[in-house]
A and B are shown apart, each in its own frame.
Chain A
Amino acid sequence: MDHDEAQVRMQEIQRIMERATLWTILPGMSAIVGGVMVLAGCLVSCLMFRSIKSPHFAMIDFASLLELSLNAQIAFCVMWFLIGTGGIGAEIHFAQVQAKKQGIAPKGRSAKLAFYSLTPGVIIAMVLTVKFLVPAELRTHEIQYIAPVWMMLYGTGVYTAGLFSVRAPRILGMVFIAAGVVSIHFFQQYGVVTTGLSFGLFHIAFGLYVIGKRKAGLPR
């Protein structure tokens, strides 16, 4: 076997290994779209909370929701629900486009693994969100826990999905878990900022990384 043939073989191996991992259908664009949607949601949340003067961080505290009118509270919840479903919708859409581009069945192994990995965490986060939001009397601490709980459970799902892929999603998952742990202990009253930082900026950074790495070749 000569040098050129060996190189062709190595490229074939690389291509097949890529196709066998989740990385192949990871859509960088959906992470960016999701991140921008979250940042927009954080901005709207700040605008909704801006009339509340006390405490001084009320504008960036999700617990300020308690001070809004019932209609505003409903609008707030609907907005975040739409951001969540919109983000998931974008993820599915772009993953299907990416899978088609790579010549892989959109509901193939990688898509199933991603779905099975993320679903338990997202379901638990949804159950806890409802539990925190619908008691007889809304409590500040419980509302403040929603964002960190989502960060930790979403991070767990992303980390698990990353076990079937390259290192990058695992790192993103760990970063989300770490951000959730830190914010539930020290920054729970700054939920709008930590949400914007994690679900917003982390996703945008990850999306740019995926796009950049795909252009450069096989990621690690």
Chain B
Amino acid sequence: MTDPIKPDDLDPVIHERARLAIVSALAVAPEMSFNEIKETLGLSDGNLSAHATSLQRAGYIEIAKTFKGRRPHTSLRLTRAGQKAFQDYVETLRKIIKQGK
């Protein structure tokens, strides 16, 4: 018999909707620019920036700031810790779905 899921089992950093969306997009794309994520998820600059910073603080994503010509270019990438956290989160969701059946 599997253990019941406790609220603590869900990573609070990823559990937030916008952050989950960012991590989900980065889970299938090796690297995405700030604008690409913004466009894909329909987030505002400020919103994306704030959530990306939270994910970076948690060690789940890396943010690289470079220049493309004269224009600043920000790209985001999922770290190993981020991949593991995302996989664990999805696994927990699967368990909850399975238990509810």
CB closest residue in chain B, given A113: B29
Q: Mark A17-54, 1 if CB is under 8 A from B, else 0.
A: 10111000000000000000000000000000000000
Report the number of A-B residue pairs with Cβ-Cβ less than 8 Å: 66
Chain B residues whose C-beta falls within 8 Å of the C-beta of A108 in the assembled complex:
36, 39-40
Say yes or no: B20 contacts A9, CB within 8 Å. yes
| Interface check A67, CB cutoff 8 A | no
Instruction: Scan residues 59-101 of chain B and give those whose CB is less than 8 A from a CB of chain A.
Output: 90, 93-94, 96-97, 99-101
What is the size category of the interface that chain A forms with chain B?
A: 20 to 34
CB closest residue in chain B, given A112: B36
CB closest residue in chain A, given B41: A16
| Interface check B24, CB cutoff 8 A | yes
- Per the bound structure, the CA–CA distance linking A166 and B41 in Å amounts to 19
Q: Is the interface of A mostly helix, strand, loop or mixed?
A: helix
**B20, B24, B26, B42, most chain A CB atoms within 10 A:** B24
Say yes or no: B40 contacts A3, CB within 8 Å. no
Q: Mark B9-25, 1 if CB is under 8 A from A, else 0.
A: 01000000100110011
Given A3-B97, A3-B100, A10-B90, A20 and B40 touching (CB < 8 A)? yes
Chain A residues whose C-beta falls within 8 Å of the C-beta of B39 in the assembled complex:
104-105, 108-109
CB closest residue in chain A, given B86: A13
Say yes or no: A12 contacts B20, CB within 8 Å. yes
| Interface check A2, CB cutoff 8 A | yes
**A7, A12, A19, A21, most chain B CB atoms within 10 A:** A19
- Per the bound structure, the CA–CA distance linking A104 and B39 in Å amounts to 7
Chain B residues whose C-beta falls within 8 Å of the C-beta of A19 in the assembled complex:
25, 40-41
Say yes or no: A13 contacts B100, CB within 8 Å. no
| Interface check B1, CB cutoff 8 A | no
Say yes or no: A6 contacts B29, CB within 8 Å. no
Given A9-B20, A9-B93, A3 and B101 touching (CB < 8 A)? yes
CB closest residue in chain B, given A14: B24
Chain B residues whose C-beta falls within 8 Å of the C-beta of A3 in the assembled complex:
96-97, 99-101
Q: Which residue in A1, A7, A109 is a CB contact (below 8 Å) of B36?
A: A109
Chain A residues whose C-beta falls within 8 Å of the C-beta of B24 in the assembled complex:
12-13, 16-17, 20
Chain A residues whose C-beta falls within 8 Å of the C-beta of B25 in the assembled complex:
16-17, 19-20
Given A1-B10, A6-B100, A104-B39, A20 and B32 touching (CB < 8 A)? yes
The interface of chain A, by Cβ under 8 A from chain B, is: 1-4, 6-7, 9-10, 12-13, 16-17, 19-21, 103-105, 108-109, 164
A-B interface, 7 closest residue pairs, ranked by CB to CB distance from nearest? A3-B100, A6-B96, A20-B25, A16-B24, A109-B36, A6-B93, A13-B24
Please name 8 pairs of A and B residues whose Cβ atoms are closer than 8 Å in the assembled complex, sorted by A.
A12-B24, A16-B21, A16-B24, A17-B25, A20-B28, A20-B40, A104-B39, A109-B33
A13-B24, A16-B21, A109-B33 given; name 8 further pairs at CB < 8 Å: A1-B96, A3-B96, A12-B21, A16-B25, A20-B28, A20-B32, A103-B42, A109-B32
